[in-house]
Structure 1
Amino acid sequence: MNTNGAVPCLLTTWSRSEQMLFRWLVKRCGDRDLAVDVLQETFLKALQMNQSFCEIEHQKAWLFRVAANALTDEWRRHQRDDELCDAAIPTLTANTDEPEAVDGLTQCLPTALERLSEDDREIIQACDLNGLSQQAFAEQKQLPLSTVKSRIQRARAKLRDQLKTHCHIRFDDNHKICCFTPSSLK
């Protein structure tokens, strides 16, 4: 990538953040090629800021926010049900090692999500499955952060109820999945 026009503060911040940002992206999406694409897009957006990038108080945090938003945009462009399931598996399988349970959860999550209202589904997908920060979601939707925090808590409770009712999932006191009995969805 040609960086001849880049301001020194951008290059310094980028050299300190690039590898960490790349590892974070790979961990988030599990796809090295997509991570490289998002990384490049993030750098280009920083370059477009030109000298104003140097005025950003928390430059590294800004880069991560831009990368998270770019990743979310990519997922929205290419999202299919199986990608949604793949993104959800690490969160949902934290306490189970049984392959059948994982397969059952993979089949159940999209159905549970579809039973939520569009607003609840959108906030769960954006913040919990795609990793968008609540602050970024609030800015995107032009809502107060406190409103987003309330909405996501309500949406999570509704999703938890759907998973309990229709997927036979039980949660422990810390709201983590403790037990799952695969069954056919109705």
Structure 2
Amino acid sequence: MDESSDADLLALVADSSTTALETLYHRHAPWLTIRLSRRCADPQIVDEVLQDTFMAIWRNAKGFTGKGEPAAWMWGIAVRRLVDAFRRRPPSSVLVQESDLSVVESAEERVLLGIEHGALGGALETLSPDLRAVVQATILDGLTTREAGRLLGLRQGTVKTRMMRARQALREELT
């Protein structure tokens, strides 16, 4: 299985192959952990999100259409699971208290919570689904234009154009 492509492994996972899932895990868990850790300072949440990600891959492998890179598809799942983990946290655990240095929060956590509950969250809701998807992939998920294009099944130039339109619409909505 080590020589199989990620797309082939996902097809096998869709047919309930635990060996294929294990191979995907060993291939992708290290870099997913690093990227998630850059967005969340709590290693326990990162571990839970990683586990949730591979459970979602197990359950939804048939959802991979073959368009784009499997790694970008998996990253999209991981980021959505991370956002869900932030939403489930009680508000009191989000606040950083200077007297309690055991509570650590990353800048991304603050931004994601501000997006959900702030003026930007409302402005994002006014965007068309196509523009919102590009904003989520590039800004909130931290993907490059190329990765976002693969994830969304778009050309890189289309991602850039939609991002330009989204920025313009958000500027108008927020001013």
Instruction: State the TM-score, normalized to the length of structure 2.
Output: 0.49
Report the TM-score when normalising by structure 1: 0.46
Larger Rg: 1
